[in-house]
Amino acid sequence: MTYDLAVWEGERPADDKTAGRVFSNLYDRYIDGAVEEPPSERIAAYVATLLQRWCDMAEDDEDASPWSTGPLIDEASGPLIYFAMRWSMAAEASAYASALADSMGLVCFDVQQDRLRP
């Protein structure tokens, strides 16, 4: 079981419903789209900062990382990263990921609950 977050560049949507639409549009374009785009500089910097706190997923030591896939940067495309965390570490990791996104001027969206993260 995983806990998923989406983080993107752009204006913070006015409400959760609008954020859900923005996320869906970004997902369709950058994750499900036919053309792969490299992560933007801001998203790459966000991922690098996450990886300063926790290493990328390592098959030989799964307890060292909250990420359920790796390398984490592979989950990013253009101005969006959509990533999953192992449930056992999701509370701490999602709180940090959300606060980090906010501090970097990025939008964080809780995919499970269809709501913006503070």
C-alpha–C-alpha distance, residues 61 and 46, integer Å? 23
Domain that residue 45 falls in: 2-116
C-alpha–C-alpha distance, residues 6 and 25, integer Å? 12
Model pLDDT, residue 42: 98
C-alpha–C-alpha distance, residues 16 and 23, integer Å? 10
Model pLDDT, residue 21: 97
Model pLDDT, residue 34: 82
Give the residue ranges of the chain where pLDDT is below 70: 58-63
Total domain count, the chain: 1
Q: How far apart are the two ends of the chain, measured CA to CA in Å? A: 23
Model pLDDT, residue 64: 77
Model pLDDT, residue 110: 96
Model pLDDT, residue 94: 95
